[in-house]
Amino acid sequence: MFSSHGAMWWSPNGTFLAYAEFNDTQVQNIEFSWYGTGQYPETVVIPYPKAGATNPKVKLFVVSSANMSRVAEIVVPSSIGTSDHYLSSVTWITDNRVAVQWLMRIQNHVILQIYHFDGSNWNPSQQYAEKSETGWVGQFSPLPPFFVEDSNNFYQVMSDKNKYKHIHYVTIEGANPITTGTWEVIYITKLTKDAIYFVSNEHGLKAGQRNLYKVALPASVQSPRQCLTCDLNVDRCQYNSGYFSLNASYYRWDCYGPGLPLFTLRDNRGPGSEIHVLEDNKVLEEMLRDKNLPTTKRDKIKVGEFDLWYQMILPPGFDKSKKYRLLIDVYAGPCSQKVDYRFRLNWATYLASAENIIVASIDGRGSGYQGDKLMHSIYKRLGTYEVEDQIETTRKFIDMGFIDKEKIAIWGWSYGGYVTSMVLGAGSGVFKCGMAVAPNSTVTSRAKNFKSVKYLLVHGTADDNVHFQQAAEISEALVEEQVDFEAMWYTDKDHGLDGAAHRHVYTHLSHFLLNCFENSSP
């Protein structure tokens, strides 16, 4: 839940330490072999709750740093504690008040409960709830609250009445938005007595851009927003964030693209002047000076009722009168985003510049940062609309006139590998081949449709995220249908395929892709 190895939270002055306890006793195990270098392999056993299976039981405790024997449990609210739930976040307000977010397992209902220390126990006081009738609360999970100093009032990003994520000021009377529009606040970066700072994609209404904003307090939806980064090095910097000093007098401006990343220290007490350049990537700029790099096209395309963002990594010297091979690079998980303005040097860069292949990505239904209607389209419907949108948008790419319709492939990793497999299994006839790295196995029902495509299945045998069991089940289903496919296993490698395997897998993917295109009918 925390996307980290930490489940401990110190109070502001270090008086108390909150910590989570997870009981895996009733959780079923996943087991896999670790081959190592010995004569016999070892068996790795990990408690792993799968969909619909028993979850760990979580409890939250607080211990006094002055007396380690004084341990008190923070009890989950009864309205949520009787059902499967998660501990979502822990936020200290003061040394004797703490806010905890408890999330229902189906992730459409969260309770923020404030607890107050009375000298011996942590008693519940104010409680706030957020529910969604259409899907996940927050951005796949609730975002953290930012509390007003010495108060139970707080600011939090949540869905507004128009179902876009915006900052709300939450009091016992209710939640009042202080931002609004058909764009989204991505996260709050800093709260002071006088202002709140946040990152959004408001500027230009481009979902994949990020800029840093400031709103003076007290605020309402009519309050003016000051963009701190919209006019800074515009061609180079359209994906920005900021990290502030304790009182927000200074901040580190982080520019991640589309040009070379740039990091500077800035003065926030006046016009925001630059104090020092921390990293300007001049060395990398010089290294790339004589390189023939691809260009990136970003735009929207109409698919059904939605205008979907897409991007194309175009070969150097792109000529729309010619025909190009196309690779769709997909992830498509809930609240994901592939189309953004970050700088990257990756496999797509190589394919476009060295192999003259267009690499495209599509943010279809289920994608984030464009309102709940788009994101919640796949709530409890995974493997449906996000798969359809990859196919339909690719058809529209063909209609643009510069795509060789006989040489189109798709690839993805993890959830992207799953979507890749579902797309190929749909039997659309659009794709000639695909490569799936660490996919899950719910695609097995479509195995017979793989006879008309070339398929590469890749997995690490020690994957503790998407288990090797998934690839084994896909392989078995394809064999049962007499499908000719290729597979590559990486011994004792986990989900990321690190070390030598990382370079090897991209070399192998490249060989498979080029061979597919070479043997496709003209």
Which range has the worst mean pLDDT, 94-103, 265-274, 388-397?
A: 265-274
- pLDDT tier at 272, thresholds 50, 70, 90: confident
Q: What percent of the chain has pLDDT over 90?
A: 92
- What does the pLDDT read at residue 480? 96
> Could you tell me the strand order of the sheet in which 154-159 lies?
146-147, 154-159, 165-171, 174-177
Per-residue DSSP letter, 355: H
Considering the domain boundaries, does residue 251 fall inside one?
no
Considering the domain boundaries, does residue 504 fall inside one?
yes
More confident residue, 221 or 416: 416
- In whole angstroms, what is the distance from residue 159 CA to residue 139 CA? 9
Q: How many domains does the chain have?
A: 1
- pLDDT tier at 462, thresholds 50, 70, 90: very high
- pLDDT tier at 520, thresholds 50, 70, 90: low
Is 161's pLDDT higher than 80?
yes
Instruction: Tell me the pLDDT tens digit for each residue of 288-313.
Output: 999 999 999 999 999 999 999 999 99
- What does the pLDDT read at residue 441? 80
Structure tokens at 29: 């195990």
Active site residues: 414, 463, 495
Considering the domain boundaries, does residue 233 fall inside one?
no
Considering the domain boundaries, does residue 272 fall inside one?
no
Is 255's pLDDT higher than 80?
yes
What ranges in 324-480 are assigned the alpha helix state H?
Answer: 347-355, 372-375, 385-399, 415-425, 468-480
Instruction: Tell me the pLDDT tens digit for each residue of 5-33.
Output: 889 999 999 999 999 999 999 999 999 99
Residue type, 373: K
**b or e along 421-436 (b: 16 or more beta carbons within 10 Å of the residue's beta carbon)?**
bbbbbbebebbbbbbb
Considering the domain boundaries, does residue 178 fall inside one?
no
Is 125's pLDDT higher than 80?
yes
Q: What is the pTM of this model?
A: 0.94
Domain span at residue 436 reads 291-518
Considering the domain boundaries, does residue 445 fall inside one?
yes
CATH of the domain at 344: 3.40.50.1820
